[in-house]
Structure 1
């Protein structure tokens, strides 16, 4: 798992994550009601089957609540962003959005 980008010579399959949003929702009285964190997860693989297998493993987080690497998560949601084949690198990509509510 790597942040932001996948170097050309990286072994596959591999995951790349990018922070998309990190915010706190305010209540009408100005107090913080919830914290929200969104991460895009890109799964890169040599075969479509590898990419889909890792997607299914990542989807196990959907509906999760509890301790996640020391963070108390109120709810985790996963949604699919896109699937593609990169003709230049001959790699498959499945892109997911992971939303964490605290």
Structure 2
């Protein structure tokens, strides 16, 4: 599964690991999570039809949020993740083949209730099913 392969890729990258260790959570940040940390969610999955059915590739839009108590830490973690993902071409540690990985958008926000800084980054990843 793409998300598991990305988790393995990111946590084995020394720059990412120095920022978030293994604090990589699906959908929502646990209340007791140490920061900086990352949440991720699959925003969409698009298949490509052909005359003979569908290709073995899917286009996945994946949102990755970095959370921190300082803006600098949130940006640093987001940049480390971007460096690891953007332009990646090859096979992820779980065996998922990636044909392309591009950054689509990035936005900085401040969550005033939680008092956390957040960088939201959307990637398009073309990968095997």
| Number of residue pairs the alignment of both structures matches | 101
Q: Which has the higher helix share?
A: 2
Cα distance between partner residues in 1 of 2:62 and 2:109: 19
Name structure 1 gaps, 5 residues minimum: none
Structure 1 residue corresponding to 2:88, chosen from 39, 46, 64: 64
Structure 2 residue corresponding to 1:54, chosen from 67, 72, 77: 77
After TM superposition, which residue ranges in structure 1, 4 or more long, deviate above 6 angstroms? none
Name structure 2 gaps, 5 residues minimum: 1-23
Structure 1 residue corresponding to 2:111, chosen from 73, 80, 86: 86
Q: TM-score, normalised by structure 2?
A: 0.72
Q: List aligned pairs for 1:28-39, cutoff 5 A.
A: 29-33=51-55, 34-39=57-62
Q: TM-score, normalised by structure 1?
A: 0.89
Q: Deviations over 1:25-52 (max 9, x none)?
A: 113x253244111211010001000011
How far residue 9 of structure 1 moved from its aligned partner, in angstroms, is 2.1
Cα distance between partner residues in 2 of 1:81 and 1:30: 37
SS of the aligned residue for 2:80 comes to helix
SS of the aligned residue for 2:33 comes to coil
